Chain A
């Protein structure tokens, strides 16, 4: 170990820092644009608060990038217990905002423990997968890993926050994949879920099943037994859920659909999606100009400084602005993937891949939502949406990527 990890000026980590920093700067400009005409003076000041969070975030970034990973390796389980305690505490002490208990109110600042829980979860799963001396394909190891993920995501779901809970599941799957879990196990975990969703209509389920059969025949020819198991599980799950689904009456189906995708409720979130699409579509190639977005200014865009901030950017700066945001994310994610591959430490590698997944998935879910591709969930756009907790948590994730990038030679 020749390098001193306290040396800021060693190469590596700067690309990550610049990409995250540019996204945060864009965020401040967009939040100002979104709220500068708001009748509520508190909203008008949001861009100042976001600037303060940005400074906090940069501080945290350097702290995280410089503290040796070994520290987190030691305290991983402590983080997990702490995060779970905070989530449990929400049930009793949380303040409810927008119909769900997601926040701790500290007066000047609301803490959202599900953001902390994400980071704690990454450390914990990485530590467990690195230290538990059994092959990743052993059933016991998989079950314990599932329990680590299941417990914390149920606590998040309890708040209720479907979007955040999904992030845990996706991080779990990607980290397990990264740790070497055989593809067939992943298939066994993922395909029944898709089967349930596809079974809402006969056609989509047939398409799903054909794709599954082709994939299975191409990929899993070697293990006949597993192939049969996988197909059988999907058949049974699909059949059972379609039977259950057909027992429901039309209005019950509609209510479930609205629960899973509020965008289907035209009087509620569906209206937001229409307006978001109008904003983005009317932005065109170069946009309507800064502070000139009509959808934005005339109040059509809902939640535009938080969940729908991307629409503000796409309306005012057009395709150009939207692509800049997307490309900055691509750079960040590429750096994360690269550092995860390069590092020699298994723990750091898993942490980096977890952090990258968290950023990538939230970006995909948020931008997919405002474009009308994905269901409406309250997932913010990393670095860009207004919010202290989210901003700080994202900078921690970036710090973890930078840390791995810098110290790739360490074991």
Chain B
């Protein structure tokens, strides 16, 4: 290494570089300690730097026609500055009735963040105006208490889409990081949680210099203020009209879930879980009683049945059983098995068909049309457990659909290992297959996963990832569109899919189809399948999964009505009415004559004021 021999010039270079570094440091030291000495001494003597965050506007959420679903409204936040609150217990005691909070809670909130003495600690979000006036008028009674005009989340349609929109809440201590300071709001569920990063924007900052008395002297010299940046606007694929219609069709008493989506791209047009709750309850300040009531409600209004509720799919899954059997080469569409005399004898047990008088001698089309259990018992036995598991798995029934919502739950498809583990080696027999084949027993799916499966059937086997967001608009930026994403391809050949669609068409349009009461007007054909899921805890759950127009579907709908009985009477009519509305809006059907719609009319008023945002 001959280069090292002459080190003089390199030493000189490094010496100069180091000297420059030391000069820089010493220069800055002189600047701070000599020239700015008075300025900093003054600050340190009455060290009162008040840092007031300016909350960024959270992005608004609109439906596919630009109608407002969530936005910010003005609200007052009351904060305490610990350094100025000399007698905290007394202050808390005085504030307690005004803020409707227990004084312990107030003291605790201040103590959590005590080490930042000059920063206001948000105590109470969304305080009513009269209480704010009291604080303003008698501020000498409340030393160190300030209030700021802030935002609270506002959902103009209250309950509508509560599960999919979610709600916001105050961050807790564990979450406070760079972007989430104490008192700022964070998405806690639904879209609000999933897209929190995009919606939240970036908070602004004001630096004040404050005198010992608490009087604001002015802005701090060496730190410029920062303006808040609002969050992105999110455009949902949801059609508010359909969402409202489904809500009204479910009414006040019916519980269940409804999923309507566009099979051509996976856009969710309506997503309803009933019963629901008023998302406004959570924005700002949640009174403890209301929260408890929601949590303890037996009907579980907070539970999102569309993506977290798992139910046996009932006969709606016969298309899966049929498709698997056709692909596995066990049957052909024309195969006739033992005729149905109201049931099927397996070992020493008689498995009933839902029609006691029996369906007689049927082929696959008729078996689906009339939902003959006997036929499918036999198909299931021939198919076998491992085949069933494989096809159900490849159709995605035990996987997440990938929807852009947090906390989605996957369905469940049992296999031999699962039965062994759960019931022991001798605890189960092949009889479980009979149940699985007609969608009962341990086979569970979410309404959304079932809708995705039907999208695949009508879309030549291609399943798109279901998604709610169509576009987002960053502040001052260009619209970013969501591109549909293929989630999976069904393991069915084109001919198999055609057989399934032909059979589903007969369910609605055949002479003895189980959903023949739900034909669409105007000669538009619709395919679908009814289902009735046994429920060990009570009445049966009603299912219907359908699509229209049958030749080239633009909408797939799945409705689950809990404890409502048979799918053809409880679920199919809901799907039918929503289809009619959607087809009317898309020019397939003439619009209905304007007639008063009791339930829906009242919701339409607020829509008008937002029409400016439609293009």
Contacts and interface: CB of A to CB of B under 8 A. Distances in A.
B11 A337 contact: yes
Contact of A371 (B11, B28, B39): B28
Contact of B3 (A179, A266, A341): A179
Nearest to B41: A282
B432 to A, nearest CB: 42
A31 to B, nearest CB: 19
B477 A249 contact: yes
Interface stretch (B149-157, B200-208, B333-341, B537-545): B200-208
A280 B222 CA distance: 15
A304 B486 CA distance: 54
Contacts of B119: 271
B109 interface: no
Nearest to A302: B115
A183 B555 CA distance: 68
A223 B521 CA distance: 84
Nearest to A252: B474
Interface string B21-44: 110111011101110110111011
Contact of A364 (B21, B201, B229, B477): B21
B478 to A, nearest CB: 10
A350 to B, nearest CB: 8
Contacts of B128: none
A180 B1 contact: yes
B476 A367 contact: no
A92 interface: no
A350 B3 CA distance: 12
Nearest to A287: B33
A282 B37 contact: yes
A337 B207 CA distance: 45
Contacts of B226: 266
Contacts of A254: 202, 229
Given A174-B14, A281-B37, A314-B33, A326 B44 contact: no
A141 to B, nearest CB: 11
B202 A278 contact: no
Given A179-B1, A250-B476, A280 B32 contact: yes
A371 B44 contact: no
Interface stretch (B46-54, B343-351, B454-462): B46-54
A367 B25 contact: yes
B4 A179 contact: yes
Nearest to A174: B14
A329 B178 CA distance: 34
A266 B29 contact: no
Interface string A344-381: 00100110000000001000100110011100000000
Nearest to B10: A178
A108 B345 CA distance: 72
Contact of B7 (A99, A294, A349): A349
Chain A binding site: helix, strand, loop or mixed by DSSP? helix
B87 interface: no
Interface string B1-24: 111100110110111001001101
B116 interface: yes
Given A250-B229, A266-B205, A330-B22, A294 B47 contact: yes
Given A294-B47, A300-B47, A371-B25, A250 B33 contact: no
Contacts of B393: none
**Size class of the contact patch on chain B:** 35 or more
B434 to A, nearest CB: 48
A273 to B, nearest CB: 9
Contact of B51 (A249, A266, A319): A266
B181 interface: yes
B18 A282 contact: no
A368 B223 CA distance: 18
B50 to A, nearest CB: 11
Contacts of B384: none
Contacts of A367: 25
B223 A270 contact: yes
A333 B22 CA distance: 11
A265 B119 CA distance: 15
B83 to A, nearest CB: 9
A177 interface: yes
B33 A278 contact: no
Given A268-B178, A280-B33, A249 B475 contact: yes
Contact of A129 (B1, B37, B51, B116): B1
A262 interface: yes
A282 B11 contact: no
B117 interface: yes
Interface string A294-317: 110011100000000000001000
Given A249-B475, A270-B223, A349-B7, A277 B202 contact: no
A267 B203 contact: yes
Contacts of A174: 14
A319 to B, nearest CB: 5
Given A341-B11, A346-B4, A294 B29 contact: no
Interface of A: 99, 129-130, 135-136, 174, 177-180, 249-251, 254-255, 258, 262, 265-268, 270-271, 274, 277-285, 294-295, 298-300, 314, 318-319, 322-323, 326, 330, 333, 337, 340-341, 346, 349-350, 360, 364, 367-368, 371-373
11 contacts: A251-B229, A255-B179, A266-B51, A266-B223, A280-B33, A300-B117, A314-B29, A318-B33, A319-B30, A323-B26, A326-B22
What 6 A-B pairs are tightest by C-beta distance, nearest first?
A180-B3, A281-B40, A282-B44, A281-B32, A282-B40, A266-B205
